Structure 1
């Protein structure tokens, strides 16, 4: 297991779009833009049941999440590890992410009947560049 440095956490905690890479059933890679947070030493993203990330992670828990500082292309962090999916508290997580990224108290794009999932990533590998 690799640890997130304070500087890596600081970058991940900024309201910057991240991208998550999951593994499709055929072994090919799938990238999506995500909102990201840090909870202790875990990286957290959120999705909904039935979406590609949930389907892929249910089959293969390997995931990578990366963030690039738009002000410095050499300041970035990439975290890879094993994902754990949780439904409990997932609505609160997406609402917190909506507050971080949109300044709104609740997630405005929730679909009726949608079941949210928190994806908790325990870092196995952390790559961090402080930039130039």
Structure 2
């Protein structure tokens, strides 16, 4: 099991917006800013079903996450990984947890009630396969 170095774990535990790279059907990378959490073994990100990153991860499980320290641009963490679980049943609870972390608002849809019930949230568990760090 590949572990996230203790020296850079804070980049996943703090509310740092990370870049998620997925693979488009033509092989080109697609990079999206996302919220993230880390459970000590897996990285977890969230999306709405049907979005491009959702389609990409369902088709090709290879992803890369880049976390850049907002306080020091030379300190970063790159995690290459594989999506090992796509969990629609945990999607809403997970996005609410991320909303609490990133916005101090435990209800993701509180600021956009018109979207409540209009999309299926999905949680993706990512197993790290290679970790590189700087700074």
TM-score, with length taken from structure 2: 0.90
SS in 1 for 2:95: helix
1:41-77 Cα deviation digits (max 9, x unpaired): 1111100110011100111011111110121111111
Identify unmatched segments of 5+ residues in structure 1. Answer: none
Aligned residue number for residue 101 of structure 1: 102
1:69-119 Cα deviation digits (max 9, x unpaired): 121111111111111211121111100100111110110347233111101
Q: Within 5 A, what are the aligned runs for 1:30-109? A: 30-83=30-83, 84-108=85-109, 109=112
| Separation in structure 2 between the aligned mates of residue 121 and residue 8 of structure 1, nearest angstrom | 17
Please tell me whether residue 113 in structure 1 is matched to residue 118 in structure 2: yes
| Separation in structure 1 between the aligned mates of residue 74 and residue 14 of structure 2, nearest angstrom | 16
SS in 1 for 2:124: strand
Q: Number of paired residues?
A: 130
TM-score, with length taken from structure 1: 0.92
Identify unmatched segments of 5+ residues in structure 2. Answer: none
